[in-house]
Structure 1
Amino acid sequence: MSEITRVGVDLAKQVIQVHAVDSAGELVTNRQLSRDKFLSWCAQLPVGCVVAMEACAGAHHWARKLIAMGLNAKVIAAHLVAPYRLQGKGGKNDANDAAAVCEAASRPNMRFVPVKTTIQQGLLCVHRLREGLKQERTACINRIRGMLAEFGLVVSKSPEKLREKLTDMLEDASNDLSGVARLVIEEAYAHWKEVDERIKWCDQRINAHVKDDAQAKAAKNLMGIGPITASAVVATVGDFNQFKNGAQFGAWLGLTPRQNSSGGKNNLGGITKRGDMYLRSLLIQGAKSAVMTAHKRDDPISKWLYQLCEKSGWQKAAVAMANKNARILWAMMTKGCSFDPRHVSIKPTDVAASSLAMA
C-alpha cells in the first residue's frame, strides 16, 4: 500500500472498483471492494495519495470523507474520462472504468470538479425538488384538462384561466360531468393546490438563502437574474476562482458556439449546451425577460441588447445576454465588485496602449 501514489475509483451502489498504480504508473492492485470496506482500505494509503473518481451520485460525499483522511481526492466529469478507456465503448466494465479514471487523473491538463460542501448540496436539493414539483404541477394541470375534455369542457391554456373556471365547472349541474368524474377532478385540483404550496415552501428556502448569502444577494442585482438563478449559480459553482476568466465560465455553462474549424477557416454553430443544463436554462430564461424589456432602459447593456435583438432576433439576443451575464457574474465574484449597468470595460491591450501614450 505504501507504493501506491494514484488510485482510480469506479463508484457503484453496493461495490466499488479500485485501480491503484505506483509512481511509475505500474499496476499495484485492481480489485473490487464492498461499500462498507472502501474507507478502511483507503485509510491504508499514504497521506496525499491521489484518489480520483467520476462525478456521479455520491462522488462528493466520498471525496469529503477522503479529504478528511488526508488524501488528495479528485472528481472528474464523466465525459473527460471516457477517452481514456482503452477498450472503447465496447469494453465498458467496472475494472476498465476505474483504470480510465486513474489514467485521466494523471494528465497534467485535466480539469477537476471542485468538491461541493454539504451546504451547497443541501441548497441544490431544494432546487431539484422545486424542478420536480414544477413538472408534477404541469402534469396535474394537463391531467385535469384531459379529463374535462372527455366531457366536452375546454379551457384556454393559461393555468390561471383553468383555475378561475374549474370551480364553476364542477358546480355546474347542466354539463355532462358524471358524479365520479367530479370527485376525481376535485381530487386532482386538491393535489394541484398541494403542489403549489410545496413550491412556495421551496421559494421561501431559496429567498432565505439569497437574503443571507452575500454572493447570491450581489448576483440578484444583474438584469435577467432573479433569486432562483442567483441561488442556483452560487450553490452550483461555489468558488468562481476555479475559472481563469469569464469566457471560460461561459464555456463551462455551454453558452459558447460549437466549433468545427480547420485550416484557418472558422465554422461556428449553435451553443455547445455543455455543463449544468438547469443553470444554463435559468440564465437563458432570465435573459429573455431582459430582452423583452430592453427598450425601456437606457444603459449601455440594454442599448446593445436592443440593437442585437433588432439585428439577430430575440432568441440569439437572449443567449448572448445569458453569456454576458455569466461573464459579469465571474467578474463580480472574483473581484468583489458590485454590478454597474453603466460600466464600460477596457481591454488589457487598450490599457497598455494608454499607459504607453501617457509615458
Structure 2
Amino acid sequence: MFEHTFNGLDVHAVNIVAHALNPDTGEIKSHSMAADPAVVLEWVRRFEPPVRVVYESGPTGFVLARYLQAAGITCVVAASSKLLRAPGDRVKTDRRDARVLAEMLAVGSVTEVRIPEPDEEALRDLSRLRSGTARDLAHARQRVNSLLLRHGIRCPENTRWTQEHRRWLRRQQFDELVLQFTYDADVEQAELLAIHLAHIHKQVTATAAACRYTPVINALMCLRGIQMTTAFGLAEEIGDWTRFTGSSIGSYLGLVPSEQSSGQSRHQGPITKAGNTYARKLLIEAAWVHRRPYARPGERLLHQLKLVTPPTRIRALEGNHRLHRKWEHFDERHKKSVKANTAIARELAGWCWSLAATLQQGERMDAA
C-alpha cells in the first residue's frame, strides 16, 4: 500500500505547475501557481502527510528544494538526463511533465541529484566564473589575432601575449578610422579580461587554501596535470566523492563508451558525455600531461607532496607512474591520441577518487 502523496512540480522562472498523485486512493490534483517557495509550501501542506515532492534539475537551481526541506518536506531534484520518456511521446506540456515526475517518484524510478549546501554552490559558482572568464579571454585574443591575420599582419615573435607582444600590438596602426577603432576595442577587451582573470585567480587561490575542500585539493594536486584551479574545480564539482566507486566515477562523468547491444551483437560507440561537463573537461585537459616523459616528480610536485600524508603521497606517485605507462602503451600500439587521452582521463578520474574518497571517509570517521 502507498502511504505517500507524490507531488511533481514543473518549475519555471515565473510559474510552477504541480501534479499531486495518491496511488492508494487514486486522487489526482493539478494546480498552477507563482514561482514562490512559500506558495509551493502552502500547496504541499494541503495534503495529509507524508508528502514527497520532486522537480527536474535546471536553471532554477536548488532554492526551492532547500526551502521545502527546511520546512520538513521531503523534496528531491531529479536528474533531467535520466527522465524516462517513450520514443513515440511527441506531446510535451507543463502538466504532462509534472504528472510524469509524480508517477516516476511514486514507483521509485527518479535518479536524484545531490543538493549542495549554499557554501558549496558558492564555491562552484566561483570555479565556473573563472572557467567562463578564461574562455572569454581566449576568444577575445583570437579575435585580435584573426583581425591582424586578415590584414596581412603577423607578429615577428613566435610567442604570444607576452609584454613584448602587447607593446607590439599597441604600435599597430590602420588607415581606416573604423578599422582602427575596432582593433583598439578588441585589444582593450583582451587586456581587461586578462586583468579580470588574474583578479579571479587570486580569489580562487585564497578560497582554495581555506575551504572545506582544502585537503582534497591538496591531494588532487599531487597528480600530474592537476594544478590548483583544476583541483579546485574537480573538488567542488564532485563534492562528495564517497558517493562513487573507482569504476562508477567514470560513468558519472560521461567518460565510459556508449553501447548498443542486441542479441549476440555488441557495439560500443563514443563516450556517453553524461554527467558533469565541466569536471569531464578538466580531466580531459589534465590527462594530456601524462603523455610527457616522467621519471621522478618535478619541483612543483615535490613541494605539493610535502603537504599531504604519507599514504596519499604513495598513492599519488603510484598513479603518476601508472598513467604515464598507460600512455606509453597506447603510443606503442599507435592508438589514436584523442581516444587514448579519453581512456587516460577515465583512469585519472579513478585515481582522483581514490585520493579524495579516502580523505573524506577518514574525516567522517574522525567526526563520528
- The TM-score range, normalised by the shorter chain, is 0.7 to 0.9
Report how far residue 74 of structure 1 moved.
Answer: 0.7
- Return the alpha-carbon distance in structure 2 between the equivalents of residues 92 and 303 of structure 1: 50
Distance 1:118 1:88, change over 3 A: farther
Distance 1:337 1:77, change over 3 A: closer
Distance 1:168 1:73, change over 3 A: same
Query: Is contact 2:257-2:270 (8 Å) kept?
Result: yes
Q: Map 1:244-323 onto structure 2 (within 5 A).
A: 245-294=245-294, 299-311=321-333, 312-323=335-346
Report how far residue 56 of structure 1 moved.
Answer: 0.7
| Percent sequence identity over aligned pairs | 22
Moved over 6 A (4+): 156-159, 295-298
2:18 matched residue in structure 1 = 18
2:229 matched residue in structure 1 = 228
Q: Give the aligned residue type for 1:195.
A: L
- Once the two structures are overlaid, the 10-residue window that deviates more, 297-306 or 316-325, is 297-306
TM (normalized to structure 2)?
Answer: 0.79
Q: Give the aligned residue type for 1:215.
A: V
Q: Which has the higher contact order (CA 8 A, sep 6+)?
A: 2
Report how far residue 149 of structure 1 moved.
Answer: 4.2
1:336 matched residue in structure 2 = 359
Distance 1:166 1:205, change over 3 A: closer
Query: Is contact 1:291-1:314 (8 Å) kept?
Result: no
Distance 1:221 1:17, change over 3 A: same
Secondary structure, aligned partner of 1:113: coil
Q: Give the aligned residue type for 2:55.
A: M
Q: Give the aligned residue type for 2:6.
A: R
Distance 1:29 1:230, change over 3 A: same
Report how far residue 52 of structure 1 moved.
Answer: 0.6
Distance 1:220 1:26, change over 3 A: farther
Query: Is contact 1:14-1:35 (8 Å) kept?
Result: yes
Report how far residue 241 of structure 1 moved.
Answer: 2.6
Secondary structure, aligned partner of 2:280: helix
Query: Is contact 2:157-2:165 (8 Å) kept?
Result: no
Q: CA RMSD in A?
A: 2.9
Q: Map 1:10-49 onto structure 2 (within 5 A).
A: 10-24=10-24, 26-36=26-36, 37-45=39-47, 48-49=50-51
Report how far residue 33 of structure 1 moved.
Answer: 0.9
Distance 1:95 1:122, change over 3 A: same
Report how far residue 115 of structure 1 moved.
Answer: 0.6
Work out whether 1:9 is the aligned partner of 2:9.
yes
Work out whether 1:114 is the aligned partner of 2:119.
no
Distance 1:169 1:73, change over 3 A: closer
Show CA shifts across 1:197-230 (max 9, x none). 1112222232233322222222222233222222
Show CA shifts across 1:274-295 (max 9, x none). 1122111110110011223447
- Once the two structures are overlaid, the 10-residue window that deviates more, 32-41 or 135-144, is 135-144
Q: Map 1:118-157 onto structure 2 (within 5 A).
A: 118-149=118-149, 151-155=151-155
Show CA shifts across 1:38-65 (max 9, x none). 2332344555521111111224111111
- Return the alpha-carbon distance in structure 2 between the equivalents of residues 115 and 195 of structure 1: 32
1:209 matched residue in structure 2 = 207
Distance 1:112 1:123, change over 3 A: same
Q: Give the aligned residue type for 2:190.
A: W
1:342 matched residue in structure 2 = none
Give the gaps of 5 or more residues in structure 2: 298-319, 362-368
Query: Is contact 1:11-1:59 (8 Å) kept?
Result: no
- Return the alpha-carbon distance in structure 1 between the equivalents of residues 128 and 57 of structure 2: 17
Secondary structure, aligned partner of 1:90: coil
- Return the alpha-carbon distance in structure 2 between the equivalents of residues 159 and 43 of structure 1: 64
Secondary structure, aligned partner of 1:70: coil
- Return the alpha-carbon distance in structure 1 between the equivalents of residues 285 and 83 of structure 2: 31
Give the gaps of 5 or more residues in structure 1: 339-359
TM (normalized to structure 1)?
Answer: 0.81
Report how far residue 246 of structure 1 moved.
Answer: 1.7
Q: Give the aligned residue type for 2:41.
A: L
Distance 1:216 1:109, change over 3 A: farther
- Return the alpha-carbon distance in structure 1 between the equivalents of residues 218 and 107 of structure 2: 38
Pick from 80, 83, 92 the counterpart of residue 82 of structure 2.
Answer: 80
Report how far residue 34 of structure 1 moved.
Answer: 1.0
Pick from 191, 194, 212 the counterpart of residue 192 of structure 2.
Answer: 194
- Return the alpha-carbon distance in structure 2 between the equivalents of residues 58 and 266 of structure 1: 39
Query: Is contact 1:156-1:162 (8 Å) kept?
Result: no
Pick from 50, 53, 58 the counterpart of residue 51 of structure 1.
Answer: 53
Secondary structure, aligned partner of 1:160: coil
- Return the alpha-carbon distance in structure 2 between the equivalents of residues 263 and 156 of structure 1: 61
- Return the alpha-carbon distance in structure 1 between the equivalents of residues 158 and 91 of structure 2: 50
Query: Is contact 1:74-1:113 (8 Å) kept?
Result: yes
